[in-house]
Amino acid sequence: MKGFNNVIAPHGNSTAQKFGYNGIELEESLGLNLHEMEFRQYDAAIGRFTGIDPVTHYDFSPYQAFDNNPILLSDPTGADARYSNYTDVNGRNRYNEWGVYIPASERKNVNNQDGTYDPRAAEDIKLVSKLFTYGVDISNLTESDKEKYFEQDNLVTIGILLHEFATGTGKETREFIYGKHPFATTYCSGRILEELYVESMTELLNIGYDFKNLPDTKKDIEVTLEFSPKKSPKTWSESLRKHFNSNLSQFFVGGSTAKVSIKNQNLMMQVYNETSRRSYYLHLPFVNNYKRKAGSKNKPLSTIKQYINASIKLEKQ
């Protein structure tokens, strides 16, 4: 028996209607007509599971489901219950530990706002940093040692920056120069160089810049270098293309901003980037950044900044 309501909604179809109770598809083979989950089955005709709960809860009967709370909890596998729509769009808890609804005005930013996951994140980043440093113990490097690596190796530079971000050590702000530092040279190549050049030239054309004489510009041109997709699906393919066409330096920087100007017939470009806690947690709006303070011990994942400077000689037209 299929239960007491076999009516198909006029705006649905027989296939879609099979996904009913608990979001599980109705299994009609052999005439059983059960909602077959991974660990047990539900019979809608009698409103009961056909077996006991495989997950033992000593304060509940083994024949119960949803921890006796079908309003807040779901049980999609037939094993253990879990909260359904437990958090709001900002990641804040909608219910307290007793299942009581929390009004929006009283909810707290609990999803890692207190740094619960920071120690694990810092350890993961330190492990990744070792992949770039050929076994070099970054923790024992002096500033002089780091400067030598900055001028020699792009990958070790990335490893050092990751380690400093994960441990809250090192300088808050570092400057890298195209042609001197491999990190800056590899970053200002390929799609980034093309994007900077095209965006700045387009803006100069819009303001009627004199390309014949190449005078110094009076103010900087600001360019936003997008990397991650936005909510609009229109940005997804462009972001995917950028990910495929990026080198490791460009991946490390991700999205950034740039100031472009013309001085002494050179196209001067300065890219600014912040490696921050919020960027690590995918720019979630409820995650705060940790600011660094000079002369004091800083938290892991506290923000570090990079300036990448480059110039291109322009020819008069």
Backbone angles phi, psi at 216, to 5 degrees: -65, 140
> What are 98's two structure tokens?
């007793």
CA distance 49 to 36: 10
- pLDDT tens-digit map of 119-162: 888 999 999 999 999 888 888 999 999 999 999 999 999 999 99
Are 74 and 59 spatial neighbours (Cβ–Cβ below 8 Å)? Answer: no
Q: Which long-range contacts (CB under 8 A, 24 or more apart) does 175-179 make?
A: 175/306, 175/307, 175/308, 175/309, 176/150, 176/306, 176/307, 176/308, 176/309, 177/308, 177/309, 177/310, 178/308, 178/309, 178/310, 178/311, 179/310
> What are 48's two structure tokens?
């009961």
User: Can you spell out the DSSP letters for 162-197?
Assistant: HHHHHHT-S-SEEEEETTT-HHHHHHTSHHHHHHHH
**Residue ranges of domains in the chain:** 1-84, 167-313
Are 98 and 138 spatial neighbours (Cβ–Cβ below 8 Å)? Answer: no
Whole-number pLDDT of residue 179: 96
Which positions ≥6 away from 13 have C-beta within 8 Å? none
pLDDT band at 95 (very low <50, low <70, confident <90, very high): low
> What are 157's two structure tokens?
């530079």
The residue written with tokens 């993961």 in the block is 124
pLDDT band at 1 (very low <50, low <70, confident <90, very high): very low
Question: 3-class DSSP state for residue 309?
Answer: strand
pLDDT band at 29 (very low <50, low <70, confident <90, very high): confident
Higher-confidence residue of 289 and 88: namely 289
Q: Please report, as a single letter, which amino acid is at residue 284.
A: L
Listed residue (303, 142, 301) closest to 150, CA to CA: 142
12 pLDDT above the threshold of 60: no
CA distance 198 to 300: 38
Listed residue (300, 205, 317, 204) closest to 260, CA to CA: 204
Listed residue (105, 106, 109) closest to 92, CA to CA: 109
Residue 199 forms beta bridges with which residues? none
CA distance 264 to 23: 67
- pLDDT tens-digit map of 164-181: 999 999 999 999 999 999
- pLDDT tens-digit map of 258-280: 999 999 999 999 999 999 999 98
